[in-house]
Amino acid sequence: MPPVQELIPKSAGIFQFGNCVGLECRVTEDPQDGLRIMTTFRNGRAVAEARAIESRNVQSADYAGSYTSVELQKTFRLSWGPKGLVAEKFLGDTDLRLIPLESDLFGLECGLIKFERGTSGAITDFKLMAKDVDTCFGSKFVKVSSD
């Protein structure tokens, strides 16, 4: 298994890879389609680039709805809008855009969200993996309604 590198924030949208001097990544938004681009730089020169999966490949109705966390004793709402799936006032006062990474896996500013499906194929819950929650199991949010 490859080693895990911590991304250390240097400034808004710029991160250093662990203790690797001269190796950083920059996260930007494409002005044409609004998708995020992560570019890796070595000694100031771009060496790799990854673009987010386009939101139109995601079935919004599957994910939209209200989810509750027994652990946090709060209910949060996910909705679909012009910029894709959004977590409304999620763990703070601002809406967070969820970036599709692969089937049922989304990235957001504070970590990752992995949706789970029941035997019927419908979304039943999601787990949040972030630096402040248990990274093995995540914090579970159960779907209580579809919007």
CATH number of the domain to which 111 belongs: 2.40.128.50
Instruction: Please report whether residue 1 resides in a domain.
Output: no
Q: Are residues 92 and 119 both part of a single domain?
A: yes
For residue 1, what pLDDT is reported?
A: 39
- Supply the pTM of this predicted model: 0.59
Distance CA 136, CA 140 (A): 12
Q: Are residues 87 and 104 both part of a single domain?
A: yes
- Domain interval for residue 114: 55-145
Residue 100 · residue 53 · CB < 8 Å: yes
Q: Are residues 73 and 135 both part of a single domain?
A: yes
Instruction: Please report whether residue 121 resides in a domain.
Output: yes
Q: Are residues 120 and 85 both part of a single domain?
A: yes
Q: Are residues 64 and 30 both part of a single domain?
A: no
Residue 8 · residue 24 · CB < 8 Å: no
Instruction: Give residue-wise pLDDT tens across range 84-118.
Output: 888 888 777 788 888 888 788 888 877 788 899 99
Instruction: Give residue-wise pLDDT tens across range 20-64.
Output: 788 888 888 888 877 788 888 888 898 888 877 554 456 667 899
Q: Are residues 65 and 107 both part of a single domain?
A: yes
Instruction: Please report whether residue 135 resides in a domain.
Output: yes
- Both tokens of 96, joined, read 């967070």
Q: Are residues 72 and 13 both part of a single domain?
A: no
Q: Work out how many domains the chain is built from and give that number.
A: 2
Per mean pLDDT, which of 55-64, 121-130, 138-147 is the most reliable? 121-130
Q: Are residues 30 and 73 both part of a single domain?
A: no
